[in-house]
Amino acid sequence: MREDDQALPQAENGGGGISLGYLLSVMRERVLLIIVMVALATSIASGFGWYLPNRFDASTTVQIDPRRKTVSNMEGVVSDLKADQTTVESEVEVIRSK
């Protein structure tokens, strides 16, 4: 019989569980194996993620109708605009682009 095949120590409260001290000692003994397995799993998952195709691409098309150049309610459009610096600069850029 090997040393690893010893009976598992029971919890001190009389229950049938394994003690926390025993679990920590097993983890300390196997720390290199745990690190290698985590690194291997992370590498495999990263590799799959790297080589999978991008599935979430988006594109859009904006269609502008050049025939209609009039605004039906100019006062309603202009009255909603605030007279701050950002709005004025934006309107100036729109006018320059025409």
What's the one-letter identity of residue 67?
R
Encode pLDDT of 4-29 as tens digits: 545 555 555 556 678 899 999 999 99
Residue whose token pair is 């679990």: 23
Q: Residues 60, 66, 69, 73: what is their CA dihedral angle, to the nearest 10 degrees? A: -30
More confident site: 40 or 59: 40
Instruction: Say what the pTM is.
Output: 0.40
Domain count for the chain: 1
Contact 29, 22 (CB under 8 A): no
Residue 45 in domain: yes
Enclosing domain of residue 29: 3-51
Average pLDDT over residues 32-51: 94
Residue 60 in domain: no
Residue 39 in domain: yes
Residue 30 in domain: yes
Residue 40 in domain: yes
Residue 31 in domain: yes
